[in-house]
Structure 1
Amino acid sequence: MPENNEKPPVWIVALWDTLAGFFTKMFESVWSGFMDMIPHIWSDTHSYWSKWFGKRETAQWNAMLDMFVSAEMIDADAAANLLKLKDVSGPLDDLFYFYLFYSLSSTYMMQAGFAVGGKTRQSLNKKYSPEVPHFRELIPAAFIAPEKTGEVRDAMKRGGISDEDIDLAFLASYRLYTEMDIRTLWLRGVLNDDQMFMRMRELGYTDTRKKTAILKAYRNKQRKSASFCIDTRLF
């Protein structure tokens, strides 16, 4: 597709330059005037603020801070430090005063509302029962009373646990033989070798560690047997 290298008419270029120059001058004029007005705006704002609200006297600061100290929102040391804000040049001192009053007052009202609403929360909690016990507190109920297993699983689902995770939680809750129990039962012949290896594997033993534990148990048995024989001869 051929390029269009045709230049615009001279009068369009001249019109564009004129308009661009006009808007540039207008922007410079407005911006320059605005910068000149800023000190006057600040001065007028400060004047109106002081006229409407006046400067907070030390007595007003003390009265406000004492009120929050008596309400146990702040302590005396905090009040003494906050009182230093009154020495900031105006109108920041007034801004600090009103912001501090608003901040502490709103915090007090929120805390008071939370405390006063305690009975309401308790009543609503009793009516709607939004909390679900932790699943670790629920699972033992299924072992103690197997007929409650369905209710336990339902409560766990209400707590946001999936069926797969519930199965894993039950599996992880089964009691295992301790290492000492396994050794004793194996040495007494209650557990055969395969059963002993299976129980040790459930405790997380590798094959190497299982053999080490078995050798240790066997040697302990030999020492106990020898000690028993010696003690028998003594009697």
Structure 2
Amino acid sequence: MFLAKPAYAAEEMGAPQILAGNDQWFISSDMVTMWVIILCLAVVCFIGTRQMRKHPTGLQNILETIVELLHGIVVDIMGETRAKRYGPFLMTFFIMILCSNYIGLLPLSGMHIPGYIAPTANLSVTAGLAIIVIVGYFVIGFMDGRMAFIKHFFLTPMLPMNLLEMITRPLSLAIRLYGNIFGEEMIIGVLFGILPFFLPLPMYALSILFGAIQAYVFTLLACIYWEEASNREGH
């Protein structure tokens, strides 16, 4: 998906800049951005949980509040048992996507300024996340649904439709997230290019809302798909 392009093309079209590499390997700007996000999240979680207290305060309290809110959403869809098993992965999904969406709102980022861009504004990144969801669907189906999953998915006249659905689902997940974040950053870049500094700020507020919504929708759909795979007896 990545081709080395002139810097101006990468900046104008939102493509990741190739920072280093050759014909066999490369390091792009969005890869570095994702590594930084992962490192920052790991550090924050380590600091917030290294001295766990029964009555949390400060960072531990913030982290526990976020986990409880997200856990409640997963429990509503998957139930308590499956939420304990798959909830941590889904919550990590949400936080990672949310941070990736918001990184494009920081100074020196965006479509028209050289530097880092939101990783989720790259179709390769969102496609990778969508593939993880679909691979998880089959893994969970074989682990939890067992014969009910196999019978429903494979041993049925609806097999062609099921296979088509497994193609459209990741496409929908990847393109929805990519399109919204890419379009949002493009609009902000255009506004800052033609309007005085403070006039595009309302779009920033909307971008904060949209970034959270897109992370929530992606994670919610992943949760629904995994619940469907693990609970075939109930469908």
TM-score (normalised: structure 1): 0.22
Highest Rg: 1 or 2?
Answer: 1
Relative contact order higher in (CA < 8 Å, ≥ 6 apart):
2
